[in-house]
């Protein structure tokens, strides 16, 4: 575990080494509070026209520190909040008539699977969690510029010997306002349970489940669960199509039947009609045989829209087979195909299918590449790290901007004050609501189990790209 009181230095040129050097240092177990200077190579690349004295390197099998001297004032070292005399002053503020307490400085713990003990330039540069962390650094830079002081403790949950229980047993609760992560579901259950006892808010950027927490108003899930995507699709089709015009396509198995039943029940709640949606099942054999999979469906009373509920990467091949046969069997008939984020993210699905099938997708994270803010972020990211910002880099930025802005406005238990408020960021929109665990919905007089982001958009493929339509 290491503490980061501030940011890596904003230098020009190839900057992936900034992250790699930091993660190597992280994995080798340095002292908990250490400034993070740029690597010797990076300084040389970025300051060719600046006559600075570069650092003396201490090369050991297990280095504890790097000794630096005569670093230019243009790149001053990062100093701790204690050194710049930031006080933990509690300031009363008001939100919707309720008193909240704002601190001058907040202590955050980020639990993230960086695999820093397995570092190589190529593997870490492409690691989705390294990209998430790098995006977070840019957010921290922006927040610091707005005088929000955050002290971040980073724990690599993939480092040998990590235990969620041991981490929670050893954490300094007096210096922990909020925990982000971890990624693994079982670790997250442990962390949320222990954090509830100490009344520390836990933010989960990655997991989507209704079974993590029970009666825990300190747990916030930023990724909407599967059924929220189903609900969004059903609401959209019910607003655009009449009874019998929409068909749910699944494989002929128990999971497929369960999916259809949920869509059908949701449509009934919206329209009052028990048979608003149709159900069509396929098999592996029919998908592999020409002119057998969907010919019957399109021959008489063809649907105007179909829904493909496939969401797991385990179902990617099934989804691809369905899309391929739909495209072939529909002929010249127009149909709109609704799907889950997998339909957007899968590398098996070509853009030709998006256009031919008028694809619409329920998605919580959508990046509009044409937006100025997105272009500017990607330029900043490339200038700092020398890498192209991917989905996870933008996600890291959005998550930490969301956390930082709400800490600044409402304090460490901000989730209570932002219910139903829609907040828009580069890629992610957040609208926090109270949710109940599926396993506990039969309980009497239950208020809620956890907070969850329920903001989902419908995007449609138009003119060679996806656009938000709902």
Which residue's entry shows tokens 């900034």? Answer: 18
Peptide bond into 23 cis (omega under 30): no
Token pair for 305: 């829209």
In CATH, the number for domain 227-363 is 3.40.50.2300
Condensed to tens digits (0 to 9), the pLDDT of residues 366-388 reads: 999 889 999 999 999 999 988 89
pTM assigned to the model:
0.79
Which residue's entry shows tokens 């219910």? Answer: 419
CA pair distance 444, 325, nearest whole angstrom: 47
Q: Fold match between 87-223+375-451 and 227-363?
A: yes
Of 262, 265, 249, residue with least CA distance to 303: 249
96: left (phi over 0), alpha (psi -120 to 50) or beta: left
CATH superfamily of 87-223+375-451: Response regulator (3.40.50.2300)
Looking at residue 125, its pLDDT comes to 55
Looking at residue 213, its pLDDT comes to 84
Condensed to tens digits (0 to 9), the pLDDT of residues 172-213 reads: 988 899 999 999 999 999 999 999 999 999 999 999 887 888
Looking at residue 7, its pLDDT comes to 35
Q: Rounded mean pLDDT of the chain?
A: 80
217 neighbors 448 (Cβ within 8 angstroms): yes
- For 45, what's the count of Cα atoms within 13 Å in the CB-facing half-sphere? 18
Token pair for 62: 């297990």
CA pair distance 468, 40, nearest whole angstrom: 45
Residue numbers in the chain where pLDDT is lower than 70: 1-98, 117-126, 290-291, 439-446
80 neighbors 33 (Cβ within 8 angstroms): yes
Looking at residue 208, its pLDDT comes to 84
CA pair distance 261, 197, nearest whole angstrom: 38
Looking at residue 23, its pLDDT comes to 53
Looking at residue 224, its pLDDT comes to 94
Cβ neighbours around 418 below 10 Å, total: 20
CA pair distance 326, 306, nearest whole angstrom: 10
110 neighbors 26 (Cβ within 8 angstroms): no
Domain map (residue ranges) of the chain: 87-223+375-451, 227-363
Condensed to tens digits (0 to 9), the pLDDT of residues 105-157 reads: 999 999 999 877 665 555 555 588 999 999 999 999 999 999 998 999 999 99
How far CA 180 is from CA of 7, 213, 238, 406, in Å, comes to 18, 15, 37, 14
């Amino acid at each position: 575990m290491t503490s980061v009181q501030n940011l890596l230095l904003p230098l020009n040129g190839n900057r992936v080494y900034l992250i790699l050097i930091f993660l190597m240092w992280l994995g080798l177990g340095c002292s908990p509070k250490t400034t993070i200077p740029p690597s010797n190579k990076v300084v040389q690349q970025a300051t060719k026209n600046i006559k600075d004295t570069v650092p003396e390197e201490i090369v050991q099998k297990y280095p504890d520190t790097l000794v630096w001297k005569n670093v230019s004032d243009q790149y001053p070292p990062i100093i701790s909040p204690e050194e710049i005399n930031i006080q933990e002053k509690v300031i009363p503020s008001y939100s919707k008539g309720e008193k909240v307490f704002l601190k001058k400085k907040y202590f955050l713990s980020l639990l993230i699977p960086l695999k820093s003990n397995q570092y190589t330039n190529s593997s870490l540069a492409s690691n989705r969690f390294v990209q998430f962390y790098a995006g977070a650094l840019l957010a921290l830079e922006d927040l610091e510029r707005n005088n929000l002081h955050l002290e971040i403790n980073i724990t690599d949950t993939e480092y040998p010997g990590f235990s969620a229980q041991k981490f929670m047993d050893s954490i300094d609760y007096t210096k922990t306002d909020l925990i982000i992560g971890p990624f693994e579901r079982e670790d997250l259950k442990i962390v949320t349970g222990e954090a509830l006892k100490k009344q520390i808010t836990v933010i989960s950027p990655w997991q989507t489940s209704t079974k993590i927490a029970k009666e825990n108003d300190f747990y916030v899930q930023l990724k909407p669960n599967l059924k929220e995507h189903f609900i969004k699709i059903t609401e959209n089709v019910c607003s655009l199509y009449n009874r019998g015009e929409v068909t749910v396509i699944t494989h002929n198995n128990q999971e497929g039947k369960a999916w259809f039943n949920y869509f059908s029940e949701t449509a009934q709640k919206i329209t009052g009609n028990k048979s608003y949606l149709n159900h069509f099942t396929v098999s592996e054999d029919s998908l592999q045989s020409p002119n057998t999979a969907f010919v019957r469906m399109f021959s008489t009373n063809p649907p105007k829209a179909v829904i493909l509920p496939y969401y797991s990467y385990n179902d990617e091949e099934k989804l691809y087979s369905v899309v391929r046969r739909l495209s072939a069997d529909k002929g010249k008939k127009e149909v709109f195909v609704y799907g889950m984020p997998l339909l957007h993210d899968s590398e098996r699905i070509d853009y030709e299918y998006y256009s031919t099938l008028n694809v619409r997708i329920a998605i919580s994270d959508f990046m509009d590449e044409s937006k100025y803010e997105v272009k500017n972020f990607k330029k900043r990211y490339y200038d700092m790290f020398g890498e192209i910002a991917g989905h996870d880099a933008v996600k890291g930025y959005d998550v930490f901007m969301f956390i930082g802005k709400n800490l600044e406005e409402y304090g460490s238990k901000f989730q209570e004050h932002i219910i139903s408020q829609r907040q828009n960021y580069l890629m992610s929109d957040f609208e926090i609501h109270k949710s109940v665990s599926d396993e506990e919905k039969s309980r009497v007089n239950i208020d809620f189990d956890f907070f969850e982001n329920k903001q989902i958009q419908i995007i449609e493929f138009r003119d060679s790209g996806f656009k938000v339509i709902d």
